[in-house]
Structure 1
Amino acid sequence: MKILIADDHELVRDTISAFLASEPGLRISVAADFHGAAELMNKEGPFDLVLLDYSMPGMNGLEGLEKAKTLNFGSPVAILSGTASRDIAEEALASGAAGFLPKSLPAKSLIHAVRFMAAGEQYAPVQFMTEKEEKTTHPLEEKLTKREMDVLKGLVEGQSNKEIARELDLQEVTVKLHVKTLCRKLEARNRTMAAMIAKNAGLF
């Protein structure tokens, strides 16, 4: 089975290729960028499986995936990455990648994944694809309650207290109290300044 690994990080490239080369029946070729991978696909292709680093020179994201699929005559092409998000992984799989392999994948799982993809199946580690991405909270947001955030959103959108009250099903006097509290917490002199602080902080 012929495998091509393309990655601009020498250590990663050497580690993965050495590990796979120790498996019976696998012949490994390596490239340091997309251009080198394309040359090898032209000269020695098609490969049973091509592994491309998502962020190496010449890849241009998923553009490289499309080119490689053509260069490898439709044989499996998968994405390797140490930094790509789950959204990118999902997009790659939807674009016809044979799989998505995080560089943190354990060695045994890597062997399993390579054989799985070379057999024509699509692979992505379940844990990576299902774990929740941590949402970072802005320091200003931590100061405010959910209801205060709702009122602040209304201020940013230029709504009057009456409009905010109607939208949130609150009494107008309650909205006034929330606006007063918001201004104090955000150290704003008035509602306009509170809205500007929220906008500048990228809260909405």
Structure 2
Amino acid sequence: MPKAETMNEQQENTLRVLIADDHAMILEMLEMYLTGVPDIEVETVPDLPAALEAIDRHGPFDLVLVDLDMPGMDGVAGLGKALEHNGGKPVGILTSNPPPRVVEEVMALGGAGIVLKTTSLKNLANEIRFMAGGGRYLPIELVKTRQQAQEDQGALLSRRESEVLGLLAEGKLNREIGVALNLAEPTVKMHVKAVCKKLGVSNRTQAVIAARDRKLI
């Protein structure tokens, strides 16, 4: 009887983790590493549709990690889908070198955090435990980059100009930006002109390129 109780306790304390990535080598590497961690049970799938199916089939996981650039994700929109399917339990992002704009979007959507593929595996188990426990994880390098981008952007662009810039980066027309931000089209044109002037460029395409170079988006 004591043995049965011990087994039940182990099962209750085991974290069920789902990892979705379209790179087979990365999946195999993560699965191989996590299989040796006694309190983590991992399942892997190759894309977002398979991840959503696995969540629906097996119930919410303690943590889901989805690759930012795999099929079906459509940027951070896929994160929102995974969060919805996972019943309020944590969902985080796997990626390599996200720009500050993506980091902000992940956190704003309620993501559990970002795990960088470019870092060592030695901290992965602790990162998983932290996010599964309700924490929101960002590697220190992303925290620093995010803070610097916020400082630079705050000094350079107004909040409204930053919003307009973000929508320019999505390829939206002035009319669409106006609808999204509840602004008249002439007002949008004024903000686009101000953004271009502050970034030292002559058109909206150059503004987006310059902003990305300076990691403002």
Where does structure 1 lack aligned partners over 5 or more consecutive residues? 134-197
**Take 1:202 and 1:92, find their aligned partners in 2: how far apart are those partners?**
25
Higher relative contact order, chain-length normalized (CA < 8 Å, sep 6+): 2
**Take 1:75 and 1:199, find their aligned partners in 2: how far apart are those partners?**
46
The equivalent of 1:57 in structure 2 is 71
The equivalent of 1:111 in structure 2 is 125
1:13 is aligned to 2:27: yes
- 1:34-113 aligned within 5 A: 34-113=48-127
Residues 54 and 61, structure 1, Cα contact 8 Å, conserved in 2: yes
Higher helix share: 2
Identity of aligned residues (%): 36
Where does structure 2 lack aligned partners over 5 or more consecutive residues? 1-14, 150-200, 211-217
Structure 2 SS opposite 1:101: strand
Superposition TM-score, scaled by structure 2 size: 0.60
**Take 1:34 and 1:88, find their aligned partners in 2: how far apart are those partners?**
18
Structure 2 SS opposite 1:8: coil
From 122, 129, 133, give the equivalent of 2:136: 122
**Take 1:41 and 1:115, find their aligned partners in 2: how far apart are those partners?**
19
RMSD of aligned residue pairs (Cα, Å): 2.1
**Take 1:37 and 1:76, find their aligned partners in 2: how far apart are those partners?**
14
Moved over 3 A (4+): 198-204
Aligned partner of 2:85: which letter? L
Task: Tell me how many residue pairs correspond in the alignment.
Answer: 140
Residues 2 and 28, structure 1, Cα contact 8 Å, conserved in 2: yes
1:33 is aligned to 2:47: yes
**Take 1:37 and 1:75, find their aligned partners in 2: how far apart are those partners?**
14
The offset of 1:105, in angstroms, is: 2.3
Aligned partner of 1:15: which letter? M
- 1:162-201 aligned within 5 A: 199=202
Aligned partner of 1:98: which letter? A
Larger-gyration structure (1/2): 1
The offset of 1:87, in angstroms, is: 2.2
The offset of 1:199, in angstroms, is: 4.4
Structure 2 SS opposite 1:3: strand
Residues 54 and 84, structure 1, Cα contact 8 Å, conserved in 2: no
Kindly provide the CA deviation profile for residues 144-196 of structure 1, in whole angstroms up to 9, marking residues without a partner as x: xxxxxxxxxxxxxxxxxxxxxxxxxxxxxxxxxxxxxxxxxxxxxxxxxxxxx
The offset of 1:83, in angstroms, is: 3.8
The offset of 1:202, in angstroms, is: 4.3
